[in-house]
Amino acid sequence: MSLRYALLGIISKKPVSGYEVVSIFKEQVVYFWNSTHSQIYTELHKLEKEELLEHELIIQNSLPNKKIYTITELGKKELINWILNHSVKPAKIKDEFLIKAAAFDILTIDEIITLLDEVIAREERILSMTKEWKEHYTKETSKQNLGAIITSEYGIRYAEMYVNWCKWVKEFISSNPPV
């Protein structure tokens, strides 16, 4: 259900194409929500049928035509109502690597360290990209950028925590090798 509100929130900032929505989702929302390309487009169509969004078809000669989505007044009211009146549920962590970590008992220390190094490298790449992305938005602080700035800061802190946790695990298993 929150996908619809994530999409309404993205489109409430400015009119965007479906492709741009998917890109924004991958860049900005990645730390707190995930969705596939097909789920996003399916939800965009539902929101349009419910008259929460509308689109303008842009005819392009050398590229495929594209739809530019805009939030309607009804969509804004629905989004505001959800933000102000929907209770916030406790955060859920759904992390495949933590499932693997829970079973580290059956791996060698070298195998564990290799996996941790891969995760550290991944998170450091994401951290670097998120910092660059945040810097782009903080050059011009505006009400329109507020959500992007504060959620990218969450992403930065999350990636830093993940890297620090992986390094702690490496130190922990090095100084307390399993018997």
pLDDT of residue 110: 93
Global pTM value: 0.73
- Residues of the chain by 3-state class (helix, strand, coil), percent to 5: 70, 10, 25
Q: For 96-155, how does the pLDDT look when each residue is reduced to its tens digit (9 = 90+)?
A: 899 999 999 899 999 999 999 999 999 999 889 888 878 877 776 666 678 878 888 888
Per DSSP, the three-state class of 16 is strand
pLDDT of residue 35: 83
Question: In sequence order, what are the residues at sequence separation of 6 or more whose Cβ sits closer than 8 angstroms to the Cβ of residue 40?
Answer: 3, 7, 18, 21, 22, 25
pLDDT of residue 78: 95
Min mean pLDDT across 7-16, 34-43, 135-144 is at 135-144
Per DSSP, the three-state class of 134 is helix
Q: For 41-99, how does the pLDDT look when each residue is reduced to its tens digit (9 = 90+)?
A: 999 999 999 999 999 999 988 888 899 999 999 999 999 999 999 888 887 777 889 99
